[in-house]
Structure 1
Amino acid sequence: MALSSSQKEIIVGLDNDRKLTIATAPSAQTKRWKNVEIGWSDLAKKLATPTRTQELYKEFVKMSKAQQGKVKDVGGFVGGSLAQGRRLANNVSWRSMLTLDLDNGDADVLDDIKQALHGYTYAVYSTHKHRADAPRLRVIVPLLKNVKLEQYEPIARRIAADINIEAMDKTTYQPSRLMFWGSVAKDGEFVFHVEDGDYLDPEEQLDRYDDWKDVYAWPHAADEMANVKHLAKKQGDPLEKRGYIGAFNRAYRIEDVIEKWLPDQYEFFKEDRYTYLDGSTAGGLILYQDGLFAYSHHGTSPTSGQLTNAFDFLRLHLFGDLDFDVAPEVPATKRPSYKEMMSFIHDDEQTNSELVDLSELPFDVFDDSKQDEEFYDQDDDWIDDDDDWEDSNTSAKQAKKWLAQLSRDDRGQIESTGINVKIILSNDPNLKGKVAIDEFSRRMIIRGKLPWARSGSDWLDSDDGSLQIYLEQYYGVVGPNKIMNALNEIALENSFHPVKEYLDSLEWDGKKRIEQIFQKFFGAEDTEYTRTVSKIHFVASVARIYHPGIKYDTAIVFVGGQGLGKSYFIDKLGKGWSNDSLQRVDNKDAYEALIGSWLIELPEMSAMKKSDNETIKHFLSKREDRFRLSYGKRTATYERACTFWGSSNDLNFLKDTTGNRRYYPIGCDKEAQKMKSWKHLTDAMIDQIWAEAKTLYEEGFSIYLPEELDSTAEQVQAQYTEESPIVPIIREYLEYPLCEEWEDMSPAERSLNFRHRTDDEIKEMIKEGATVRQEVCTAEIWTEALGKEIDRMTRLDSREITGALLQIGGWKRASKGKRFGVHGVQKYFERQY
């Protein structure tokens, strides 16, 4: 029958064109289905346009069922979403529509449908086997909203009952049920009808039940369940059978048995039906209760006329011939087939996993028999890395899967092997992910609650014993060495870096804070030097986390301003990774103190006072430390992941100008303090400070002082350096007026002139217009001011003179060298005005 113009108008003018999810495939035999979204109007158009096949209707009805299946298989759809694209019973994520097969209707069936679904949106189209006097129709009812797997069947049966449940195919209510696209023989009649109305509200349909979860309250056809229910009740619940029988039935359903052991004896027919390949009929094996039972209508199959569970189904197929001469009254458990079956499944992993009583496991499990999501991939390794489940709670499916991985002895007991310990540590929710190596502190630590009483985060010797007792008590696994070796390996696999995790979690809000932080909290002078040094030190702290051992040999030092809360500031800024216990810098204890510490505080620079300048310079310059930890077995290399944060109330804390470049002094002034650490340095502010530093690091901000600030830094460093004994002499020399003969004098004569002029003579020279020098080099100061031989000046002496010049102030390095008489070309300093 052609589609009427009125029907076309309804499709085109549908008011409620909701988007629906369906899974489609080009054939019923397709293994991977595709989830697609489609508008209801587009789906209706698709359903209204059948495929015309080449055979006559009378030819079609004479074909075998298998041949008919091939003819009408023009592709189809499932009215919902399929997980992983597999059309399996438990793979339906949700249903977006009802799809009903009406195979036994009478001439008034379409009227029945119209009456039952009056006011709703739906479509009806005929099957390939339909004819006017024997209607076979498919009813498609889109839902107002998607429904879960367990909600679908009671809704579908409720609507089927409204129409005529006796006319329905008995398997039409399965959520994974496929519907072929419309097809019709070349001379056959095709029926299509569509109505535009409200979408069916699934909640309203469920509310029509007193308890929609009660399966036996659902509408059923008169003969649908009676026989099967009687046989199943007589046999008892297969899952509750004792020992290996119950374990096997819990591990496998009928379809699993066929797929694993009998693929050459059975062929999938449709839905829950299989065809016995050695028989003469098609689809005679019918599965019930989600595959717990199977009833065979095949006259020649090993289970013909019997309702069997998975264990007996496989037993009779593999070993039933052994019972040929056994008297009928002999119990099944005394038959040869039973003995062989027990031996056959003894080493089966999935069966062995079910031997474990889940109620006796040391963690809670929930029933996931109706869950529609797959917890595991077929390609997963034996160690499960899914961490979506809460601690001490897991699904029965999860537990059974990993328990099946454990090797067992002939009695079914878990073997005490290192691999088994690893499997348990990786999957038992009480232990999984709970022990890890902290890559920052190089310690084994505890991440989460353990099943024994303890406090603190470090894994202790007592935890070794507690773990061994736990594994023995619940799994029967013993062997301290095997257990500890497995623990060490798992902890390493669970390694994490807490500071990286912290920094990675931060997102900067774009507000600059770092360059003003020391001004606000410590009253530091707001200069380019302070702003730059602040950013450098914070960025260097981040760089040392992402790039341990990166070259950065400078400590920031907060000077003066007693009572500003400098130690509190550093400690809180360190987020638990600060350390103020460094006592010395010249022994192994100093190196150990750096491990697991991010911000090393040097209060009052006490650790530096106990060592000579060369030792301090060596300590700060190191990028890695190599030593053997206390109680450790081997020497190892530890890359520096820390920065140094000093404080001192001594305004001359620097004692030797030769190592000053390794310090960035920040002068502090309590009177200029604007914010207090204990009040304003909140966790939120700290997070944003480090987020800004991380952003600067990612943008490539340099952690080295720019050349244009070198001179400023030297002056600041000199400001806090203990005055050298030569400073007064050099200061006087620099202000000494130069006589007219000065340029013609030798260095020795100049030294004598400088040393023996009286104050009155100097005043007279100034009065007569003598000027002071505008530039000077270290060689002049060494020979003329200090009166020493030039060939005895060392590099250390030159540095000391330079430091003195910087302490005096008012002088800056010239950018180029210049000739200074007998001293030749020298680097020099220029007077600043």
Structure 2
Amino acid sequence: MLVDQLPLGWIDDNEEDRFRLEIGDLVNLLSRQLGNRWRFNQLSKKIELDGKPIPVFELENLYCHLSQRGFTISKEKAIDAAKAAAMAHSFHPVVEYLDRVASDENIVPAELDQLGSLFWDTQDPLYDAMIRKTVIGAVKRAYEPGCMFRTCLVFKGGQDIGKSTSIRVLASPAWLTDTAQDKHEDFLLAIHGCWIYELAELDSITSKKEAGALKNDLSSPKDDIRVPYGRAHDTFARQSIFAGTSNRDDFLRDETGASRFWVVELPHNADDGFVIDLDRLRANRDAIWKSAVLAYRDGEEPRLSQEHQAESNRRNLGFELKHPWEDYLADWLHNLLPHIKEFTAEEALNMSGALGSAYDMGWGHPYPALPYKDSVEVGKILRRLGCTQDKHPRRRTILGQSKRRRWWHPPDTSGTGQ
């Protein structure tokens, strides 16, 4: 117990008169007796003694234990003094670790542009780039809390191949949180107490509302939280990043936030005994983080190139929940080629049978205008299927009627563009 490390404060031998402490007295006493054994962990935001966190209840009862040893001080003053003494020896365990591995000449930096290939058995330059930028983003968040990093690396693959464990190995168990929080306030507190927060529940997000909330959480660089030993909420810059795992093909629910996710498809199959080599990853963990620190110090930003981000966005279309209209429209477009070069959203939705049964009045006939929501939805599907839409309205005469529309065009299968 903390007070066992402190001297007695009785003024008389009968242990009746106590020595009155002011805040400064207790700060000096703790500093003199404990030195840097009594420290404040900037990651967990907890006070530690010899590397072990001090429970909140022990700090709240500090004034009681001091009274038993011959001192008198109020509860609030005792807590304030304990915090002040610890903060004089503040440290950040992740920053200390990164500084150490970066300066260790015995550690050979890993090949930063081949991390996916070397440790997750992928053979795709985009996946290598995603993992590279993620570890640099984690380093930057440690050194520059609140810096811009709004993306989440997602390992997608079968069960029992080591997806979550590989994230834990990379972060270290002490600096990773993967426990889902029921209350949003607890969720915010959790992400401010770790270096990497694993979104292991990505598969359970079933509504656009939940997906939209997650998008906002990914985007925020700071939060108002009440930390351990705190009496009120305060604003803290984020020092953590997100990583996720998924077994499903349709885990993205909000297309407006899909660009936030960098999805790495893993080739492993537990049934065949092909899993992530966690021992190899563990053995090279220091080398990976050293290479990330060096890249950060060279000024590399944790952002994909425009080409890589565009390709990531395109691939993410395949991880979105398929709309019931999509198969109808895909079949209709397949049968349509090469007979027609442009059409309207109303024609596509009615003639494909997506609305329940094919309502075919022929090309150019005035189908009922779509509600705005349906028009937006069919547009998303057509783009996902490779269709393009005119940037500006054009006027055409069909069946003797002049129509001014932004016409849709089927996918170009010639390879030459339209």
TM-score by length of 2: 0.75
Find 2:311's aligned residue among 695, 712, 715: 712
CA distance in 2, matches of 1:510, 1:620: 33
Specify whether residues 802 and 520 from structure 1 end up closer, same or farther in structure 2 by C-alpha distance, changes over 3 A only: farther
CA distance in 2, matches of 1:717, 1:749: 26
Q: Are the counterparts in 1 of residues 224 and 234 from structure 2 also a CA contact under 8 Å?
A: yes
CA distance in 1, matches of 2:348, 2:25: 87
Q: Which amino acid aligns with 2:72?
A: V
Q: Which amino acid aligns with 2:260?
A: R
Q: Which one has more relative contact order, counting CA pairs under 8 Å at least 6 apart?
A: 2
CA distance in 2, matches of 1:832, 1:714: 23
Q: Aligned residue for 1:592?
A: 189
CA distance in 2, matches of 1:747, 1:825: 6
Q: Aligned residue for 1:421?
A: 26
Q: Are the counterparts in 2 of residues 625 and 640 from structure 1 also a CA contact under 8 Å?
A: yes
Q: Which amino acid aligns with 2:369?
A: E
CA distance in 2, matches of 1:589, 1:718: 32
| Higher Cα radius of gyration | 1
Q: Aligned residue for 2:286?
A: 687
Query: How far off is 1:673 after superposition?
Result: 8.8
Query: How far off is 1:437 after superposition?
Result: 2.0
Q: Aligned residue for 2:53?
A: 457
Q: Does the alignment pair 1:789 with 2:388? A: no
Report % sequence identity: 22
Q: Are the counterparts in 2 of residues 724 and 804 from structure 1 also a CA contact under 8 Å?
A: no
Q: Does the alignment pair 1:603 with 2:200? A: yes
Q: Aligned residue for 1:823?
A: 405
CA distance in 2, matches of 1:518, 1:673: 19
Q: Aligned residue for 2:240?
A: 642
Find 1:443's aligned residue among 40, 46, 49: 46
SS in 2 for 1:646: strand
Q: Are the counterparts in 1 of residues 329 and 348 from structure 2 also a CA contact under 8 Å?
A: no
> Is the deviation greater in 414-423 or in 593-602?
414-423
Specify whether residues 502 and 633 from structure 1 end up closer, same or farther in structure 2 by C-alpha distance, changes over 3 A only: same
SS in 2 for 1:713: helix
Query: How far off is 1:667 after superposition?
Result: 0.8
Q: Which amino acid aligns with 1:486?
A: A
SS in 1 for 2:216: helix
Q: Are the counterparts in 1 of residues 177 and 197 from structure 2 also a CA contact under 8 Å?
A: yes
CA distance in 2, matches of 1:688, 1:725: 47
CA distance in 1, matches of 2:226, 2:369: 49
Unaligned runs of 5+ in 1: 1-361, 364-391, 393-407, 449-455, 757-782
Q: Aligned residue for 1:670?
A: 268
Q: Are the counterparts in 2 of residues 440 and 497 from structure 1 also a CA contact under 8 Å?
A: yes
Specify whether residues 423 and 531 from structure 1 end up closer, same or farther in structure 2 by C-alpha distance, changes over 3 A only: same
Q: Are the counterparts in 2 of residues 559 and 667 from structure 1 also a CA contact under 8 Å?
A: yes
CA distance in 1, matches of 2:96, 2:321: 43
Q: Does the alignment pair 1:724 with 2:319? A: no
Query: How far off is 1:827 after superposition?
Result: 11
CA distance in 1, matches of 2:350, 2:201: 45
- Give per-residue Cα distances to partners, 1:663-711, cap 9 Å, x unaligned: 11111111599774442222x5111111111222222222222211233
Q: Are the counterparts in 1 of residues 388 and 408 from structure 2 also a CA contact under 8 Å?
A: no
Query: How far off is 1:718 after superposition?
Result: 1.6
Q: Are the counterparts in 2 of residues 599 and 642 from structure 1 also a CA contact under 8 Å?
A: yes
- Give per-residue Cα distances to partners, 1:46-75, cap 9 Å, x unaligned: xxxxxxxxxxxxxxxxxxxxxxxxxxxxxx
Unaligned runs of 5+ in 2: 12-17, 354-362, 396-403
Specify whether residues 612 and 818 from structure 1 end up closer, same or farther in structure 2 by C-alpha distance, changes over 3 A only: same
Query: How far off is 1:606 after superposition?
Result: 4.8
SS in 2 for 1:506: helix
Q: Aligned residue for 1:621?
A: 219
| 1:88-107 mapped onto 2 (5 Å cutoff) | none
Query: How far off is 1:528 after superposition?
Result: 2.4
Q: Are the counterparts in 1 of residues 45 and 228 from structure 2 also a CA contact under 8 Å?
A: no
Specify whether residues 503 and 755 from structure 1 end up closer, same or farther in structure 2 by C-alpha distance, changes over 3 A only: closer
Q: Are the counterparts in 2 of residues 817 and 826 from structure 1 also a CA contact under 8 Å?
A: no
Q: Are the counterparts in 2 of residues 557 and 648 from structure 1 also a CA contact under 8 Å?
A: yes
CA distance in 1, matches of 2:22, 2:228: 31
